[in-house]
Every structure is written in C-alpha cells, then in structure tokens.
Amino acid sequence: MSGARTFAIDATRLDGWLRELARFSDAPAPAVERVLYTPTDLAGRAFVRGLAESLGLAVRVDAVGNTFFRLEGREPALAAVATGSHLDAIPNAGRFDGTVGVLGGLAALEAIRGAGITPRRAIEVIAFTSEEPTRFGLGCVGSRLMSGAIAPEAVRALRDAAGRPFEEVRADAGFVGALEEVRLPEGHYHAFVELHVEQGPVLEREGVAIGVVTAIAAPASYVLEIEGEGGHAGAVLMPDRKDALCAAAEIILAVEDAARTSGSDDTVATVGVCRVFPGAINGIAARVHLELDLRDTSLAAREEAFAVMAAAIERIAAARRVRVSRRTINEDPPAQADAAIVAAVEASAAAHGLTSRRMPSRAYHDALFMARIAPMGMVFVPSARGVSHRPDEYTAPEDVARGAAVLAGTLLKLAEDGDG
C-alpha cells in the first residue's frame, strides 16, 4: 500500500457500545465494577462476544478467558496483527479504561471490513483476562501467561481475598484447559497495538488529539508486613511502645519522599493499601499490612528509588523497634515501543488530519507484556482532566472515534507489511 488509508468511525454508535457495556456493573451508575470471573464480568464478556459475532468476526477463547476476535486476511498462514485491551474494571471505576481498546478495536475492524478491504494479514482484537489486580492481587494475568512473563505454577498459587484458588475460581467461571496452553510463541503476532485512554492530563492540556506511546513504565509492587507490639492505649506509656502504625506512617512518608527526590520526573510511588490489626481506637497497633506500587520509565531509576526506600525502612524499623518483612508481588521491566509502529501511528494520525505527540505511558497495560512476543505500540486518546479509575472518568465520543480511526489505519498498514 502507498500512503495511509483513512476511516470514518461512527462516534455515536461506538459510544453506545461503551454505554451498553457499562450497564454490566456491580456498582450503581455512573460507577462501573466488573471483577474477574464474577457473573457480571462474564455477562460483560458475553455482550462483547455477541457484538463481535454480529460483525462477522471469528471467536476463540483460551484457558483463562483471553478472547480473540479475528478478521481473516488474504494470507492466513502469515502472522496476524493484534490489538485489544481489557474489560474488567476495579471497584468504583469508570467506563473507558480498557473498554475503549476492545470496543474501539472492534470498530476499527468493522471500518476496515466496511471499506471492502481484506487485509493481507489477519487482524485480531484481544479482550485480555484480568488486567486489573483487583481479585488476585496481580495485574495482567492473561497477557503475562500469554507472553510467558509468568509461570503457570505461579498463577496456580494465586488466592483471592476469600482464600479461593485461582484454578477453582477459573473452573467455576467455565474456563477449562491447562494454563500452559495460554502461552503464545514469539512471532505469533507480527505486531501488537493497544488503543487506550491516556489516564493523564497531557493530551487535553496541550490540545493534542493522539498520543503516540514510546515506552511503558516499569512497574513494581510489594507487600510490607510491619510487626510491633500491641497493648492497651491507656496502659502502655509512650517510651515503651512499639507501635506498628506509627512505624507504617513514617514508612509511607519515606516512600513518598524517595519518589519525590529521585531525580527522575517519571518516578511515582504509592502506598494504596493499609490494614491495621487489631484496628481498635483503644488498642496499640500490633501489625500493619502495606501494599506499595513503584514505577518509572527507567528501570535503573526505579531500582535506585527502591534502594533509598529500603534503607529508610530499615532505619525506621530500628528506631521504632519493629520488624518489617517484604514480599515482592512483581518487578517488571519497562518496554519500548517499536519504531515502525510509532511511525505507522503518526502517519495514520496525520492522514486523518489529527495532531499527535510522542509520550511515555506511566500506567502499565497488557501491551507491556505483549512486547515480549511481538513488536508493540500504543495509541492514546485524551482523558478529561486526566481522571481515570473513577466514575467521572470521561473521554468524548469524538475523541474515542478518532482513536479508533487512527488505530484502523495503523492496523491496516501493519497488516499489509510485506515481510513474513
């Protein structure tokens, strides 16, 4: 093909799909909640599957529920091009995170097919299982398994908050087959491109229509268990205390300070979970459970910030006379977008008359793990006020449609690539 093909996406229709999917929720509107393998999650999946089948796409579901919607190409033996994102939603979420990438991907395939085009390579939209860590404490389980970033036995060891094993919950949801079958070999896909809302303020602030992702930040998460000594709030004098919550408070501030002073603009650190035992107003905290999220686009910068945090935690534990243990949930490296995909996204945006800018993704996505088995890229569309993971998350219908149009042009360009 010469030049970049343009596509018209019906913004009202695509917005209608997003609104309909948002009705599948365990939280009252406008909040959205679809937790992995719950009846609501399964109902949302069924809605999207029905939509894809109505568009004439072939459907395949793997052992953990990763779902593939395929537009066949002229040369089916060639490695396909893929796009996609996730359908699960954390409690008190909005209706755009993840869903724009799945439903926008379906709209892109519909537009390509509607233009009478059969691409050289097949194009697939993937609805990834368990991108959010809500139920099992680990994000991107489906893409981790698909890319070999996690061993099946590690997934089998996962438990939800009720203590139910991953395998038991998966089976009850109707997904069967060995976890080993989920893995795809390197080269299975010719390219992978994920459409997503920015989840930050840059595009809206600068009046830019399309973000072209150059790298995805390196995420790491940890559990900290702080053990002090409980006692009666009135009977234990201050010099004798080994208060786990006071130690936790200092640790939380030390984590924040390490990120603020790291020297890297992209270092972010968050303690998002704090559980106190026994949790009584007249009881000194004996134990505190903290969960820490640390990210940077640079692995070296993240590791340096973590070293500063670790040293501070050791000092605080000694001064407070408490014990602190640490368990690693994940330590994932960053991923770089493929230069050819970056160029294809920029060319598609330009062909559609849209402004674009290069930018990193500081949130991580399934694309982070797909980069292990295929050249990867991402397309961002603006998020109003930079808000995400909240009921007031919003991206205008025309912005979603523009992203889907740019995605369609990008996918078609990659699907027409001449090499094997």
Q: What's the Cα-to-Cα distance from 154 to each of 63, 115, 150, 238, 377, rounded to whole Å?
A: 16, 45, 7, 44, 28
SS3 at position 121: coil
1 has pLDDT over 60: no
C-alpha 186/C-alpha 184 separation (Å) is: 7
Alpha-helical runs (H) found in 173-264: 202-206, 244-260
C-alpha 9/C-alpha 111 separation (Å) is: 7
Residue intervals of the chain classified under CATH 3.30.70.360 are: 218-331
Residue intervals of the chain classified under CATH 3.40.630.10 are: 11-217+335-415
Percent of the chain with pLDDT over 70: 99
The mean predicted confidence, pLDDT, of the chain is: 96
Thinking of the domain 11-217+335-415, which architecture would CATH place it in? 3-Layer(aba) Sandwich (3.40)
SS3 at position 220: strand
Angle at 361 between CA 100 and CA 15, to 5 degrees: 15
Average pLDDT over residues 250-277: 96
C-alpha 276/C-alpha 9 separation (Å) is: 50
Peptide bond just before 219 cis, omega within 30 deg: no
Average pLDDT over residues 263-276: 95
* pLDDT score, position 2: 44
420 has pLDDT over 70: no
What HEC string does 20-61 produce? HHHCCCCCCCCCEEECCCCHHHHHHHHHHHHHHHHCCCEEEE
C-alpha 79/C-alpha 57 separation (Å) is: 17
Q: Are strands 218-227 and 287-296 parallel, antiparallel or unpaired?
A: antiparallel
pLDDT digits (tens, 9 = 90+) for 307-317: 999 999 999 99
> What's the pTM?
0.92
121 has pLDDT over 50: yes
C-alpha 247/C-alpha 107 separation (Å) is: 51
C-alpha 402/C-alpha 394 separation (Å) is: 15
Name the band, by pLDDT with cuts 50, 70 and 90, for residue 207.
very high
pLDDT digits (tens, 9 = 90+) for 176-199: 999 999 999 989 999 999 999 999
104 has pLDDT over 80: yes
SS3 at position 379: strand
pLDDT digits (tens, 9 = 90+) for 74-102: 999 999 999 999 999 999 999 999 999 99
Peptide bond just before 133 cis, omega within 30 deg: no
**Which of 3.40.1190.10, 3.40.50.300, 3.10.150.10, 3.30.70.360 would CATH assign to domain 218-331?**
3.30.70.360
* pLDDT score, position 118: 97
